[in-house]
């Protein structure tokens, strides 16, 4: 019923995988694995970063190792952001659907969370070397809310 093959298919007929083919194939796999790790690992800051909170009334910067609760006023009311355990999260907000409260803790450089209906944004900045914030790194125009 099905056709039978006498030899397994190796790509180019009559050519086998040689030693340097295996080396180049291994190098490609290592490069792909390293790239995947570098992009998706996101190296946690372990308290060396800072959290930048922006609301309608201004911007606030706190170290991630701080254990504090920040109330940020918005058009709907106060959004409460808790900073603890080297991370931050939105504990409560007056918005209707509470998606921001259900969002996970932010700990990694570049991670952020927001309550868009209440115009509050929080983002983690910094790195292992404690690099300063780039001008305009977190730009959110809250004047349109």
pLDDT tens per residue, range 50-69: 899 999 888 999 998 889 99
Give 52's Cβ-side CA count (13 Å radius). Answer: 20
**Residue 114 included in any domain:** yes
pLDDT of 89 reads 94
Assess if residue 85 is contained within a domain. yes
**Domain of 119, in residue numbers:** 50-131
Asked if residue 18 belongs to a domain, the reply is no
73 lies in a domain? yes
Per mean pLDDT, which of 4-8, 46-50, 94-98, 133-137 is the most reliable?
94-98
Decide if 41 contacts 35 (C-beta within 8 A): no
Sign of the dihedral defined by the CA atoms of residues 32, 34, 35, 36, in that order:
positive
Residue 70 sits in a domain of what CATH number? Answer: 2.60.320.10
Q: For residue 37, tell me if it sits in a domain.
A: no
Q: Give domain status of residue 107, yes or no.
A: yes
Q: Return the pLDDT at 143.
A: 41
Over residues 29-52, the mean pLDDT reads 75
Does residue 32 belong to any structural domain of this protein? no
Is residue 112 domain-resident?
yes
Q: Which residue has the higher pLDDT, 29 or 127?
A: 29
Instruction: With CA atoms as reference, report the closest residue to 71 among 55, 85, 52, 51.
Output: 55
Distance between CA 16 and CA 96 in Å, rounded? 64
Look at the chain and report how many structural domains it folds into.
Answer: 1
Closest CA to 86 of 52, 132, 45, 138: 45
Confidence bin at 129 (pLDDT 50/70/90) = very low
């Amino acid at each position: 019923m099905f056709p039978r093959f006498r030899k397994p298919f190796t790509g180019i007929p009559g050519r086998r995988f040689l030693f340097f083919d295996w080396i180049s194939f291994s190098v490609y796999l290592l490069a792909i694995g390293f790239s995947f790790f570098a992009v998706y690992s996101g190296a946690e800051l372990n308290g060396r970063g800072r959290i930048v909170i922006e609301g309608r009334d201004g911007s606030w910067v706190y170290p991630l190792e701080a254990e504090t609760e920040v109330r940020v006023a918005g058009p709907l009311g106060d959004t409460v952001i808790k900073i603890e355990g080297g991370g931050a999260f939105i504990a409560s907000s007056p918005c209707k659907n509470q998606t921001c409260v259900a969002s996970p803790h932010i700990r990694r450089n570049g991670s952020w969370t927001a309550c868009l209906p209440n115009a509050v944004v929080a983002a983690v900045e910094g790195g292992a070397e404690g690099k300063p914030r780039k001008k305009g790194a977190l730009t959110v125009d809250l004047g349109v809310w």
